[in-house]
Structure 1
Amino acid sequence: MRYVRQFGDPVLKSRAMTVSRFDDDLREQIRGMGEIMNDAFGIGLAATQLGKLNRVLVYRVEQDSPAIALVNPELEWSGDELETAEEGCLSLRGVLVDVERPVHVRVRAQDEQGSTVIIEASGLEARVIQHEMDHLDGVLILDRTSRDQRKQAMRALREQTAADEAA
């Protein structure tokens, strides 16, 4: 978790840039992101959460599955059916808020070699991809929840910060 940027870091509100070089450095970044995500018991991680402003995310919704990397992801389509569910974030420790998202999405991206991939996802997988794509645009779950939940989340973040400083 020490590598994951926390709420208040300006990089979390920044828009990531398109990746144009598909080289060993990118593949190493993706490998490292997968390890950090696993170590933090996360199911998704965006490069911006590590202070890297490139359009890369990794995710895994099944515990034993390999991590999937999406480079330069773009939402091609989202279904009309919406669902509200509780979301947390590695950059907002201790915060859970309700977020409404489309249940079904299709995303066009590139893999770590630069080849085009199309992901059609539903349920949790669709939610995780949308959450991480939000990070690449500088959008946090606090931006997608109700005013009351945002106020509660800010209180929880202040309490967590005070507890961390006291430790």
Structure 2
Amino acid sequence: MAVRTILRYPDPLLSRPCARVSSFDAQLKNLCDDLLDTMRAAPGVGITAAHIGVDQRVSVIQLAPDQPLYIHINPEIVSASGDLQRFTEGSVSMPGMTDDVERPSRIEFRYQDLEGQIFTDHAEGFLATCIQHEIDQLDGIFWIRKLSRLKRDRLLKKWEKHSVR
């Protein structure tokens, strides 16, 4: 287990869709352990393999230390509710930058576990937002693309000033 280096926005690897995982082996388990350590050190509540430059559809989410740990391999959204919710989002690849993003409040999603078993599950509230956020990242969609152009431009100016330090 190790804390890995997190890519910083606008690294082009953050804009590339990740490849599906096909080997469910010790190397995958080690990657997930490293992702968990890296996420906790960041700190954050979610991270993907893309955040550390690994081209695999893997995400790790833990909303709080006393909450369940979610490891999703090859996650994909099956369906989403029509009603929306708004939560403040950010990224371990853009520390200190946050803004409100609107997303469906409930989702049904499919994923595999570390052994390759396929599951379909439901999520709502903040967990649904986190899952959607991480799946977007695995698809090469950085969270700020969900903002209006005006909000995104403001945030990017702030990031430029922040990241120059």
TM-score by length of 1: 0.93
Tell me what 1:15 maps to. 17
How far, CA to CA, are the matches of 1:93 and 1:158 in structure 2?
12
- Determine which of 70, 94, 108 is the counterpart of 1:68: 70
Deviation at 1:162, TM superposition (A): 1.5
Tell me what 2:92 maps to. 90
How far, CA to CA, are the matches of 2:87 and 2:149 in structure 1?
16
Tell me what 1:161 maps to. 163
Confirm or deny: 8 A CA contact 1:94 1:156 kept in the other structure.
no
Structure 2: which amino acid aligns with 1:130?
Q
- Determine which of 89, 114, 117 is the counterpart of 2:116: 114
Confirm or deny: 8 A CA contact 1:93 1:157 kept in the other structure.
no
Confirm or deny: 8 A CA contact 2:78 2:109 kept in the other structure.
yes
Tell me what 1:29 maps to. 31
Unaligned runs of 5+ in 2: none
Deviation at 1:8, TM superposition (A): 1.5
Alignment: residue pair count:
163
Unaligned runs of 5+ in 1: none
Structure 2: which amino acid aligns with 1:41?
P
Tell me what 2:43 maps to. 41
How far, CA to CA, are the matches of 1:104 and 1:9 in structure 2?
31
Partner SS for 2:161:
helix
- Determine which of 140, 143, 149 is the counterpart of 2:142: 140
Confirm or deny: 8 A CA contact 1:88 1:97 kept in the other structure.
yes
Q: Which aligned segments of 4 or more residues in structure 1 are displaced greater than 3 angstroms?
A: none
How far, CA to CA, are the matches of 1:112 and 1:129 in structure 2?
17
How far, CA to CA, are the matches of 1:2 and 1:68 in structure 2?
19
How far, CA to CA, are the matches of 2:77 and 2:115 in structure 1?
20
Tell me what 2:154 maps to. 152
TM-score by length of 2: 0.94
Identity %: 31
How far, CA to CA, are the matches of 2:143 and 2:164 in structure 1?
22
Tell me what 1:131 maps to. 133
RMSD: 1.3
